[in-house]
Amino acid sequence: MAVKIRLARRGRKKRAMYDVVVADARAPRDGRFIEKIGTYNPNTDPASININNEKAFDWVMKGAQPTDTVKAMLSYRGVMYRKHLQIGVIKGALTQEQADAKLAEWVEAKEAKISGKVESLSKAQADAKKAKLEAETKVKEARAEALAAKQAEEEAANAPTEEEAEAEEAGQDAPAEESEEKTEE
């Protein structure tokens, strides 16, 4: 019986999530499996890979063949590197302590790299949000200035000029004088 470590799809349309399963190679993709060893969510950034490394390592050492995608995920999580080191221990090239030390160093470096990426993504998101807020503020200020200028123009157009004001005052006096002249006649 050929055993594969592969993905089983679940989730809704266009929002797929996957279970990482150990299954007989003849079983359908989403059908019968031997054991579920983790999950994979490609919808997050970076993609969420939750695999039980111990179970995955046991199955890989027993001879289970991972598919290309799962092999990449196992490499990302350090399972394939651990297999490589364990084969070296079995052959006598290095001791178990040396292999464990190398694996611990590799895992530490990998975790630092992952956390750095997560921090850079969150910083980029915060910067984008700040830039968007600044752009909105500039647009709001420009609109306020345009509105103030328009109101000033309307007030200037509606307010009479000095000459018109003097003419109006003279005009108001003129009809009173005319009415006095008419009464004298």
Residue 162 has what pLDDT? 67
Instruction: Assess if residue 147 is contained within a domain.
Output: no
Mean pLDDT of 27-34: 87
Residue 30 has what pLDDT? 83
Strands 3-10, 65-66: pairing kind = parallel
**pLDDT bucket at 181, cuts 50 / 70 / 90:** low
Given a cut of 90, is residue 38 above it in pLDDT? yes
The string of pLDDT tens digits covering residues 39-58 is 999 998 788 899 999 999 99
Instruction: Assess if residue 56 is contained within a domain.
Output: yes
Instruction: Assess if residue 43 is contained within a domain.
Output: yes
Mean pLDDT of 112-130: 89
CB within 8 Å of 99: residues ≥ 6 apart: 85, 86, 88, 89
CB within 8 Å of 7: residues ≥ 6 apart: 18, 19, 20, 21, 29, 40, 67, 69, 70
Cα–Cα dist 158/153, whole Å: 9
Instruction: Assess if residue 75 is contained within a domain.
Output: yes
Residue 161 has what pLDDT? 64
Residue 70 near residue 20, CB atoms below 8 Å: yes
Residue 35 near residue 41, CB atoms below 8 Å: no
Name the E strands within 42-137.
48-51, 65-66
How many domains are there within the chain?
Answer: 1
Domain that holds residue 45: 3-94
Mean pLDDT of 99-121: 90
Instruction: Assess if residue 39 is contained within a domain.
Output: yes
Instruction: Assess if residue 137 is contained within a domain.
Output: no
Residue 6 near residue 19, CB atoms below 8 Å: no
**pLDDT bucket at 178, cuts 50 / 70 / 90:** low
**pLDDT bucket at 132, cuts 50 / 70 / 90:** very high
Query: Encoding tokens for residue 34?
Result: 């031997």
Cα–Cα dist 111/77, whole Å: 10
In the block, which residue shows the tokens 């910067």? 127
Instruction: Assess if residue 113 is contained within a domain.
Output: no
Given a cut of 90, is residue 59 above it in pLDDT? yes
- pLDDT averaged over every residue in the chain: 86
Instruction: Assess if residue 136 is contained within a domain.
Output: no
106-74-22 Cα angle (round to 5): 150
Domain CATH for 51: 3.30.1320.10
Given a cut of 70, is residue 74 above it in pLDDT? yes
